Amino acid sequence: MPEPDPHLVKEETKDTGVPPTHIYSFRDPSSDDSPVEASTDGVWESGLPILIDMGTYQTRAGYATQEGPASIFPTIYSKYRDRKVNRSYSLIGQNAYYDTNSRSGMRSPFDGAFVSNWDGVELILDYTFSRLGVKSEGRVDNPVVMTEMLGCPAAQRKNFNELFFEAYNVQSLTYGIDSLFSYHYNGGSNGVVISSAHESTHVIPVLKGKGMLPLAKRINWGGRQSATYMQNLLNLKYPYFPTKITQPQAMCLVRDYCYVSKNYAQELADFLKYDGLENRERVVQAPFTENVAPEKTAEELRQIEERRKESGRRLQEQAAKMRLEKLVEKENNLEYYRQLQTRVDEAPKKDTKKILDREGFKDQAALTRVMNDLQRAIRKARKEDVGEDDTPAEPPSFPLLDIPDDQLDAEQIKEKRKQRLLKANYDARMRAKEEKQRELERQAEEELKNAEWRERDLDGWIAHHREERGKLVDSIKEKQRLKAQLQDRKSLASQNRMKNIAALMSDSGRSKRRRGGGAQDDDADDNFGADDNDWAVYQDLGNDSSGEEEEGKQKEIKRLEALLLEHDPNFTAEDTREAELDWRKSVVHLFLHGPRAFDPDSIEQQHRVVLNVERIRVPEVLFQPSIAGVDQASVTEIVDDLLLRRLDSETREREASTLVLQDIFLTGGQAHFKNFDERLQTDLQCVLPTGAPLKVRRARDPMLDAWRGMALFATTADRSKVFFTREQYLEMGPHYVFEHGFGNEFF
């Protein structure tokens, strides 16, 4: 696993209670942009076997006398044309990442596990022989050992034979299965080889050094599928991630940070617990460009803070002034409607309809509803702050209000209007003050009754307040759920909202005269507004109209919680709404951002990936393929079926299963997962008979031991029995196969 980038280790705030974040950088094969030059010198000599392990992920090539492959590169190629020099280029392996144009045209000669582009294979072989420094003219004057997939189709082997013998004119050629070569290099003779490679996972029993290929099984899951699975998990986890996570990057994430869990169910249940999560997760930082704001001096910061406070104070004053003006307007409207109600009551019955129609009301019930709504709004407004209490100790005088206009000049009439407005504001303030005083008296009386109830029946008082708090919390959660649904235009709530809008728009053309603040009831029989819940339709239409109501509920919840904290011994700070909303207790927050606060405005944190459950979920597919939608048996189930049911009967050898279970061998790229061998040992012990001599081991180098096994095979085997010469190719045809213990059987 790579070390964390020391330049990216950040000190977190002290209140998190966790150590500084260890941040790792995204790895990408394309990060090394330097081209690889072809080798012109080496250990080449005529007749020295060349070993080529051409996998779907990497190609490893070298000579049989070397300790390791001389050339390792990705099995990719790219063709592009440089318009500046008017030349076409073919770039192989790491060189394909050198230019932006070549990257866009990168491709693999494989489609899954099968070769689909033989021109690409020929380009890769040309590059391989060039890298190895082959100096023979017009041909490759060497034997070649080549790997092939388990159960390789005859047509694919035929094309390889034609390519090697016709295009390169090699001395001789043989094929083998990479996992069996790896087992051979690690000294195995009887066992079960589990090869989890880039494209698939194979289980092959081996007896007396020969692979029992008719009993071999394949699971369609390998490194490529693991990378795709990781990529899909991260795309679901971070749907708005600023940059695209490519498959090579996802492959590096799987290789560097994933491991096999010894007890998946238990570890998954405890993985997202807050305690110790910083040790279980891995934070990976994607490249980003940070906007550096110019630093300000202390004096500039002080001036900005003063301006902010002054701006806030002015806004509060303006808001209080507007609330006062609206309160005065509503009181004037209410007074007008009261006078209208008086005229309606005193007028003859035949004139009542005309008076109401002129004012925009259909009947007297509509007028009553409007007056009731205004009274509720006025009572609510009087409880709110309408400005600082600057009421003078002595009541102000307004002498011009009692003088008729005909006795005043123009300036005095103007002053009289001003005094009338000031008097209305003064009266509104006094009424609001009286209303607040009555509200305080009511609250004091309510508190006294509450205290008496608490003294008389504490359990009942606690149950009642808990129930009230629960109702308020449920109401807020329901509002939040509805708001989330409204953001989805396909949800039922969003569709109902659009129907409400359409219904209101269809009625908008039928407008009548009405006084400001009034309401019109077009249908006297529907009694809309009689129930307070009827007005929820307008809350559905406006995004922020329910903000005041929710704020009031939040205040009431805090008041109830304060009482419960004081008098309920079973209600603690951990039970409060604030504690429930604490991100430290949010599984979603811990899943997305880990045990630290998240700043949505931080560009750095927006480009950050937190790996937690993905670290064990991706490798777990080998043991539970169903979690990734793979309808196949797991590695454990296949080995169990092989050892207990099939091996002894189909090989007709006694104690064959006892021999092979003593050496369960892991190889291939995915065998590098930490705890893979221990988990397989534990799972197999659960299904095998008690006391079975089970042993699970891993290849010394799961990635390169296959090539080293090819070298051991090429230097120790009898070439006349395992190599297919050019003369035999011309005599027997391209379909002929030399069978040996490490290769496929002819079919």
Residue 590 lies inside a defined structural domain of this protein: yes
| pLDDT score for 85 | 83
Q: Please provide the distance, in angstroms rounded to a whole number, between the alpha carbons at the two ends of the chain.
A: 43
| pLDDT score for 51 | 95
How many percent of the chain have pLDDT more than 70? 86
User: Which sign, positive or negative, has the C-alpha torsion 366, 367, 368, 372?
Assistant: positive
| pLDDT score for 14 | 43
Residue 418 banded pLDDT, cuts 50, 70, 90? confident
Q: Does residue 235 carry a pLDDT above 90? A: yes
Answer yes or no: pTM beyond 0.85. Answer: no
259-287 confidence digits (pLDDT tens): 999 999 999 999 999 889 999 999 999 98
Residue 23 CB partners (closer than 8 Å, separation 6+):
4, 5, 8, 9, 10, 283, 284, 285, 608
| pLDDT score for 16 | 54
| pLDDT score for 42 | 55
| pLDDT score for 426 | 76
Structural domain harbouring 277: 6-27+225-288+583-620
Residue 206 lies inside a defined structural domain of this protein: no
Residue 578 lies inside a defined structural domain of this protein: no
- What would the mean pLDDT of 33-48 be, rounded to a whole number? 62
**Strand-strand pairing, 172-176 and 191-196:** unpaired
Looking at the structure of the chain, the number of domains it has is 2
Could you tell me if 89 and 20 lie in one domain? no
Domain boundary residue, one of 600, 620, 640 = 620
Task: Tell me the average pLDDT of the chain.
Answer: 83
What is the DSSP-derived secondary structure letter of residue 167? I
Number of residues in the chain: 747
Whether the CB-CB separation of 517 and 329 falls below 8 Å is answered with: yes
Helix (H, G, I), strand (E, B), or coil: what is residue 159? helix
Q: Which of 28-32, 454-458, 677-681, 691-695 has the lowest mean pLDDT?
A: 28-32
Could you tell me if 40 and 181 lie in one domain? yes
Could you tell me if 36 and 84 lie in one domain? yes
Region at 594 (left for phi over 0; alpha for psi -120 to 50; beta for the rest): left
703-746 confidence digits (pLDDT tens): 999 999 999 999 988 888 889 999 999 999 888 888 888 988 87
Could you tell me if 130 and 37 lie in one domain? yes
Whether the CB-CB separation of 124 and 95 falls below 8 Å is answered with: no
| pLDDT score for 317 | 84
Residue 56 lies inside a defined structural domain of this protein: yes
Could you tell me if 39 and 21 lie in one domain? no
492-547 confidence digits (pLDDT tens): 766 777 777 777 667 655 544 445 544 444 444 455 555 555 545 554 545 444 56
53-85 confidence digits (pLDDT tens): 999 999 999 999 999 999 999 999 998 888 888
Residue 92 banded pLDDT, cuts 50, 70, 90? very high
The whole-angstrom separation of Cα 675 and Cα 625 is: 18
User: Which sign, positive or negative, has the C-alpha torsion 12, 18, 21, 22?
Assistant: positive
β-bridge partners, 583: none
| pLDDT score for 493 | 67
| pLDDT score for 4 | 60
Helix (H, G, I), strand (E, B), or coil: what is residue 487? coil
The whole-angstrom separation of Cα 529 and Cα 553 is: 22
Domain boundary residue, one of 575, 593, 620 = 620
Could you tell me if 105 and 135 lie in one domain? yes
Residue 458 lies inside a defined structural domain of this protein: no
Could you tell me if 14 and 153 lie in one domain? no
241-266 confidence digits (pLDDT tens): 999 999 999 999 999 999 999 999 99
| pLDDT score for 53 | 95
Whether the CB-CB separation of 61 and 80 falls below 8 Å is answered with: no
Q: Which of 215-229, 300-314, 552-566 has the lowest mean pLDDT?
A: 552-566
The whole-angstrom separation of Cα 113 and Cα 109 is: 10
Could you tell me if 44 and 22 lie in one domain? no
The whole-angstrom separation of Cα 640 and Cα 685 is: 10
| pLDDT score for 385 | 54
**Residue 69's domain is classified under what CATH number?**
3.30.420.40
The whole-angstrom separation of Cα 299 and Cα 305 is: 10
Whether the CB-CB separation of 48 and 116 falls below 8 Å is answered with: no
Domain boundary residue, one of 620, 646, 681 = 620
Whether the CB-CB separation of 548 and 365 falls below 8 Å is answered with: no
Report the candidate in 191, 192, 222, 200 with the shortest Cα–Cα distance to residue 151.
Answer: 200
| pLDDT score for 518 | 47
Q: Does residue 645 carry a pLDDT above 70? A: yes
Q: Does residue 463 carry a pLDDT above 60? A: yes
Could you tell me if 149 and 47 lie in one domain? yes
Which residue type is seen at 62? G
The whole-angstrom separation of Cα 674 and Cα 195 is: 15
What is the DSSP-derived secondary structure letter of residue 629? T
Residue 395 CB partners (closer than 8 Å, separation 6+):
426
Residue 469 lies inside a defined structural domain of this protein: no
Could you tell me if 153 and 181 lie in one domain? yes
The whole-angstrom separation of Cα 495 and Cα 509 is: 23
Q: Which of 39-43, 296-300, 386-390, 700-704 has the lowest mean pLDDT?
A: 386-390
Could you tell me if 262 and 181 lie in one domain? no
Residue 371 lies inside a defined structural domain of this protein: no
Could you tell me if 37 and 173 lie in one domain? yes
What is the DSSP-derived secondary structure letter of residue 15? G
β-bridge partners, 725: 172
342-368 confidence digits (pLDDT tens): 888 888 877 888 888 888 888 888 888
The whole-angstrom separation of Cα 436 and Cα 584 is: 40
Q: Does residue 578 carry a pLDDT above 70? A: yes
Whether the CB-CB separation of 398 and 454 falls below 8 Å is answered with: no
Report the candidate in 218, 224, 250 with the shortest Cα–Cα distance to residue 56.
Answer: 224
| pLDDT score for 565 | 87
How many percent of the chain have pLDDT more than 90? 38
Q: Does residue 641 carry a pLDDT above 70? A: yes
The whole-angstrom separation of Cα 453 and Cα 460 is: 9
